[in-house]
Amino acid sequence: MASVNLLIAVCLIYVAFLFAVAFAAERAASRGRGNWLRSPLVYTLSLSIYCTAWTFYGAVGYAARSGMEFVTIYLGPSLVMIGWWWMLRKLVRIGRTQRVTSVADLISSRYGKSNVLAIIVTVMAVVGVTPYIALQLQSVTLSLSIFADPTGVTDGGMNLLSAGFWVALGLALFTVLFGTRNLNANERHDGVVIAIAVEAVVKLVALLAVGIFVVWGVAGGLGEMMVRIDSSEIGQWEVDSSRWTALTVLSGAAFLCLPRMFQVLVVENDDERHLHIASWAFPIYLMLMSLFVVPIAVIGLDLLPANANPDLFVLTVPLSQGQDGLAILSFLGGFSSATSMVIVATLALSTMVSNHVVMPIWLSFQGQGAAVSGDVRNVVLFSRRMSILVIIALGYLYYRVSGGSGALAAIGLISFTGVAQFLPAMMGGIFWRGATRVGALSGLLVGFAIWIYASLLPSFGADVVMSQALLDQGPFDIDFLRPQSLFGIEGVDPTVHAVFWSLFLNTSAFVLGSLISFPNPLERLQGAQFVNIFAHSGHARGWSGSVAESEDLMVMAQRILGGSEAQKLFRREAQKQGQDGHLPEPTPDFLQRLEREMSASVGAATAHAMISQLVGGTSVSVQDLMAVAHESAQMLEYSSQLEAKSSELSTTALQLRDVNAKLTQLSVQKDAFLSQISHELRTPMTSIRSFSEILRDSDGLEAVDKTKYASIIHVEAIRLTRLLDDLLDLSVLENGQVSLNPATGALLSVIDHAVTTTQAGAIRAITIDKSGIDGALVLTTDLDRLSQVFINLISNAQKYCKSENPTLVIETVVKHDEVVVLFTDNGISIPADKRALIFEKFSRINDQDGSGAGLGLAICREIVARLGGKIEHLPILKGNQFAVHLPL
Amino acid sequence: MGKRVLLVEDEPNIIEAITFLLSREGWKVESHTDGATAVERVNDLRPDLLMLDHMLPGKSGLDILIELRSDEQFAALPILMLTARGQMRDRAQAEAAGVSRFMTKPFSNTQVLAAVRDLMSL
């Protein structure tokens, strides 16, 4: 009888051996001599962490209780490996291309790098797997206790709980040492994998040894064995098809979804061709593991007392036969199963917790405070290590609290059901482009809730978490909400019930949610990448329009990947681009690669955020970069401020442009006006100057010429004077500074005065017809100004009316509250295109006619406007008609 | 035989003054008042000097200048331009178009005579 102390010594030696193996493997790998470490054989053996202590010990117990049903636990994974290896290949390809680090990372990446999803998956995984870890601890302590009391009935007075503690501590130490030795971009752990492979061999050898001993040593040969099996209860097993189907599906799903399986299957995979070999080698391994389960169970039931724990037959049968050595080997097999599971599961979970929960929180927390100058790698490693310790502590705590309740297999199945909830989101994600984040989120939450309600909570037993009443009558006596008979399904096995409802409603919610929601652009891209992975491997969603500085990227990469790793990566990329030195151009390809490398350390979402920050930013320093969450909020606000400013500025610019256009127009008008005035003034001055010089300088001019030249000077001087008068008049009128002197008088007398004035000294004679004037009309207005208007109109007619018999008809028409004075001549009509201009300053119909400056009508218009009326030119067939409207 | 000067100008008094001044020096002065037909007149008359007002009815002096200079046979014709508008831009435009001399009204008689002499002796 081996003492417990001896056993502990063996354990310690074995663990030391594992440490040595792992250490040697790491050394070999770091020296580049680790090719053999990554052989298909090692890969296949590492998959054996599927076989935990539950399978090692529990399968026999399972067989002793339920006959051949335990086979389903092996059947599921075998079917997946053999029948669906192409699907695994897709998973592995996606995992490698997208640098996926965990199940949570896979699902988060697929659905637009959503960290919410990652957190949910992480939490679900921790909740689902923690009992499983507790189970391993329990199996180790339980198996230790057997050696203290071989009957397996009591714990032999051994302090199981403290043993559990030391085991947990040892496992934590191993995981921290080999799981977080460094932060590999590819997230692979050579030491761990090789240790697991060794343990896989140990547990297979142990189980086979016990089996062979039982068949040939106890039963006395294969034939004898078959007889005993036939005569035992196990031989009478019946197939409950619903349970078989449910359990096979469940174990297959768990094989894919368990974080530790994903770790070895996808993350630690070095070459997807290994899957070809594993697809047949792993089922063989499972078959060998299950080969002697039934014989051991049958013999155990025969040999041992009825109250012996069948879960420990693997140990107790050899012990009862005095085979201590075999029992120790068997113990080591169980120990291996337990430890390898805990190590890999913890590793996988810690990666998820650290990448998706701790680091984002840390980063956003850092964003609040001062800039960080430390090395992020240390933070990541620290967070990983702390996560490992916390997860193992949780497992230990669960073990303490549950007090080792329940059969091993039951806990295993509950855990399986929990993680199987990832399946719809995972499979949908890699096969269905229409799958969306909303769908994944709703499916996961629904499945998880039902799992907790229908499987996890009832598993503690009645009145622990759920009362007996709740279990029997449902919450608030709602019958169809009874946890183990949801929606009125009665009499179904609880496991089948939970698997069916959780997966069915999970899938339904997933499909429905995906159908009614629309994926965002990143989701679409990632969806296409995942679903069509074989179409374009290696071309993940691209970075474009990059303005990132290589130096900045380098600084960031060094912080996260470590100095030498980052330099290696950069140099390699630079070489690939055909560049000298170690700084590659920040091409989309390179950024993509860098993001993938970084996501292994800090998670896809965080890596993406970090690179986005650099690529999108203008001059972002690494310190700023650390403030990811905080700063992006600030940037958003800043940019919206800028936007507001810029729109303000553009409004101002628009206004300025308007003002400028008006000024330019005014300036053009002013230039034209000045040119006109200049011309009008300089022209008479030219004549005056020239002739005055002639008179002054020329001797012997004839008297006639002298008189002629003097009169030219005189006429031009008068012209100048009149021009100046008109200009001043117009200026006064336009500025509104004119003061009117209203008086009452007959309109006829005003017209008479104007006619008399113009007729005196007129060069051309014009007949004026005043017969149409109403002599009774009396006006109260500035009569002098009105006279000025009439004089202007009459003299214009005199000057410009070209006719055989020039005639001007002046008549009055009274309309409502106004009188219209019409001046109609029989001259040549003003051309239509000039009509609009005649009231403008300096406009002359024909420059050759007379010496007017073109101000007369402009002045008339201003005067009439001041008098409260208007003046217009009316087109008539022959001649011109001016109408002066005056208020009565 | 006296050289011929064509004066394109719409102010009768200025025509009279210039005609008087140049005739006294022995030149033959022809005048023309319409801008629109000025180029034809130059073509017909083939003057030795063209005196061109800037602001003319029908067609501006600047346009006449540009049209003449674009014609090979008038590329070297001395052209004296007179303007009453007094804008710097007008001078710049005329010079760019190849005017021989540019004068602003009112001018002194001696200035005009000196300019005409200058251009004639070229």
A59-98 per-position pLDDT tens digit: 888 787 777 777 888 888 888 888 887 788 888 888 877 7
Taking phi over 0 as left and psi of -120 to 50 as alpha, with beta for the rest, A480 belongs to: alpha
Q: Which of B14, B24, B84 sits opposite A679 (nearest CB)?
A: B84
Looking at residue A630, its pLDDT comes to 43
Q: Do B104 and A716 touch (CB under 8 A)?
A: no
Give contacts of B84 with chain A, Cβ < 8 Å.
678-679, 681-683, 686
Q: Do A679 and B20 touch (CB under 8 A)?
A: no
Looking at residue A12, its pLDDT comes to 81
Looking at residue A542, its pLDDT comes to 42
> A639 and A620, same structural domain?
no
Query: In this structure, what CATH number is given to the domain that contains residue A122?
Result: 1.20.1730.10
Looking at residue B115, its pLDDT comes to 92
Band (pLDDT 50/70/90 cuts) for residue A620 is: very low
Q: Average of pLDDT values for A236-265?
A: 80
Highest mean pLDDT among A159-168, A703-712, A763-772, A823-832: A703-712
Identify the CA nearest to A193 among candidates A880, A184, A429, A661: A184
> A535 and A400, same structural domain?
no
Chain position carrying tokens 């622990």: A464
Q: Is residue A410 part of a domain?
A: no
Whole-Å CA distances, A302 to A150, A208, A231, B47: 16, 20, 11, 144
> A784 and A722, same structural domain?
no
Band (pLDDT 50/70/90 cuts) for residue A233 is: low
> A509 and A646, same structural domain?
no
Chain B: which residues have CB within 8 Å of chain A? Answer: 10-11, 13-14, 16-18, 20-21, 24, 33-34, 55-57, 84-87, 104-110
Band (pLDDT 50/70/90 cuts) for residue A729 is: confident
Looking at residue A823, its pLDDT comes to 92
Highest mean pLDDT among A529-543, A758-772, A867-881: A867-881
Band (pLDDT 50/70/90 cuts) for residue A631 is: very low
> A656 and A622, same structural domain?
no
Q: Provide DSSP, A308-346.
A: S-GGGHHHHHHHHTT-HHHHHHHHHHHHHHHHHHHHHHH
Cα(A655)–Cα(A547) distance, rounded to whole angstroms? 35
Q: Average of pLDDT values for A549-558?
A: 72
Q: Which of B33, B34, B109 sits opposite A693 (nearest CB)?
A: B109
Q: Do A847 and B14 touch (CB under 8 A)?
A: no
Indicate whether this complex's ipTM tops 0.90: yes
Looking at residue A406, its pLDDT comes to 55
> Does pTM surpass 0.90?
no
Q: Which of B10, B87, B109 sits opposite A694 (nearest CB)?
A: B109
More confident residue, A151 or A885: A885
Q: Do A686 and B108 touch (CB under 8 A)?
A: no
> A558 and A526, same structural domain?
no
Q: Which residues contact A527 (CB under 8 A, 6 or more apart)?
A: A110, A111, A429, A433, A434, A435, A519
What is the enclosing helix (H) or strand (E) of B116?
helix B109-120
Q: Average of pLDDT values for A487-498?
A: 68
Cα(A629)–Cα(A610) distance, rounded to whole angstroms? 10
Q: Do B10 and A847 touch (CB under 8 A)?
A: yes
**Closest CA of chain B from A726, distance in Å:** 19
> A582 and A524, same structural domain?
no
Q: Do A675 and B10 touch (CB under 8 A)?
A: no
> A196 and A129, same structural domain?
yes
**Total tally of structural domains belonging to chain B:** 1
Looking at residue A633, its pLDDT comes to 47
Average pLDDT, chain A: 77
Q: Average of pLDDT values for A690-698?
A: 90
Q: Which residue of chain B has the CA closest to A695?
A: B17
Q: Average of pLDDT values for A235-247?
A: 72
Residue A316 phi/psi, 5-degree rounding, is: -75, -30
> A155 and A74, same structural domain?
yes
| Final residue of a structural domain among A670, A704, A730 | A730
Q: In terms of DSSP bridges, do strands A807-815 and A818-825 run parallel, antiparallel, or are they unpaired?
A: antiparallel
Q: Do B14 and A682 touch (CB under 8 A)?
A: no
Lowest mean pLDDT among A245-254, A307-316, A474-483: A474-483
Q: Which residue of chain B has the CA closest to A671?
A: B87
Q: Do A687 and B13 touch (CB under 8 A)?
A: yes
Q: Average of pLDDT values for A295-313?
A: 78
| Final residue of a structural domain among A702, A730, A758 | A730
Q: Do A846 and B57 touch (CB under 8 A)?
A: yes
Q: Which domain holds residue B21?
A: 4-120
> A668 and A794, same structural domain?
no
Q: Do B17 and A679 touch (CB under 8 A)?
A: no
Lowest mean pLDDT among A325-334, A465-474, A701-710, B62-71: A465-474
Mutate to test the interface with A, among B29, B89, B105 (most CBs of A within 10 A): B105
Looking at residue A628, its pLDDT comes to 46
**Total tally of structural domains belonging to chain A:** 5
| Final residue of a structural domain among A672, A702, A730 | A730
Lowest mean pLDDT among A203-217, A366-380, A534-548, A575-589: A534-548
Mutate to test the interface with A, among B60, B89, B109 (most CBs of A within 10 A): B109
Q: Is residue A416 part of a domain?
A: no
Give contacts of B11 with chain A, Cβ < 8 Å.
683, 686-687
Give contacts of A714 with chain B, Cβ < 8 Å.
none
Give contacts of A698 with chain B, Cβ < 8 Å.
24
More confident residue, A273 or A690: A690
Query: In this structure, what CATH number is given to the domain that contains residue B110?
Result: 3.40.50.2300
**Closest CA of chain A from B34, distance in Å:** 9
Q: Which domain holds residue A486?
A: 421-539
Q: Average of pLDDT values for A333-349?
A: 83
Give contacts of B37 with chain A, Cβ < 8 Å.
none
> A256 and A149, same structural domain?
yes
Residues in chain B with pLDDT < 50? none
> A438 and A565, same structural domain?
no
Looking at residue B64, its pLDDT comes to 93
More confident residue, A631 or A488: A488
Mutate to test the interface with B, among A679, A690, A711, A851 (most CBs of B within 10 A): A690
Give contacts of B10 with chain A, Cβ < 8 Å.
847-848
Band (pLDDT 50/70/90 cuts) for residue A468 is: low
pLDDT exceeds 50 at position A154: no
Looking at residue A621, its pLDDT comes to 35
Interface A-B, measured as beta-carbon pairs within 8 A, has a size of 71
**Closest CA of chain A from B75, distance in Å:** 29
Q: Average of pLDDT values for A487-513?
A: 78
Looking at residue A660, its pLDDT comes to 85
Specify the DSSP class assigned to residue A489. -
Q: Is the dihedral of CA A374, A377, A381, A387 positive or negative?
A: positive
Q: Is residue A412 part of a domain?
A: no
pLDDT exceeds 80 at position A555: no
